[in-house]
Amino acid sequence: MKRWYIVHAYSGYEKQVMRSLKDRIARSDLLESFGEVLVPTEEVVEMKDGKKRKSERKFFPGYVLVEMEMTEATWHTVKETPKVLGFIGGTPEKPAPITQKEADKILSRIQQQGETAPKPKTMFEPGEELLVIDGPFVDFKGVIEKVDYDKSKVTLTINVFNRPTQVELEFKQVEKTD
């Protein structure tokens, strides 16, 4: 029976490990023992030079999900893939699969990704200070009161004529001050 296992890979090489592993499986006679090989990612949007850019962010940097039947041969196939450090869970010789519930949670998160708008790469927290870079309040600094990721808007309190004033701005109109 195929179960999901988490494979620890060199950070930054997850996609390469996924490709290498898929290639090794295709060239072996173990095709039936393997299911999917995934690097769980989500699409994020970041502002660069005033333009929206889409990019991918990994849910679990450094890890690759492998659906497989654990045997001596499949274990060696994964373990001997370049840039693989080993399995997560269990012992090095007898890795433990993740539960079906955990697997479903990860897979549904990947599934939802295609149906929802990309998340912003920059995450904002209430209480953080931001600089307004566009609009009538340009060059004002403000403190985040509320963040609405669905609408990509942030509510800031800025000082206008020494009076605290709340303004709602789009993510692209602000940037972190650090």
Residue-wise pLDDT tens digits, 96-121: 999 989 988 888 877 765 555 556 66
Structure tokens at 137: 């309040």
Burial 18-40 (b: 16+ CB within 10 A, else e): bebbeebbeeeebeebbeebbbb
Do strands 174-176 and 129-132 pair parallel, antiparallel, or not at all (unpaired)? Answer: antiparallel
Is residue 147 within 8 A of residue 126, CB to CB? The reply is yes
Domains delineated in the chain: 3-112 (3.30.70.940), 128-176 (2.30.30.30)
Could you report the per-residue pLDDT of 135-178, keeping only the tens digit for each? 888 999 999 999 887 788 899 999 988 899 999 998 888 888 76
- Using CA atoms, how far apart are residues 168 and 162, in angstroms rounded to an integer? 18
Instruction: Return the pLDDT at 93.
Output: 84
Residue-level pLDDT at 118: 57
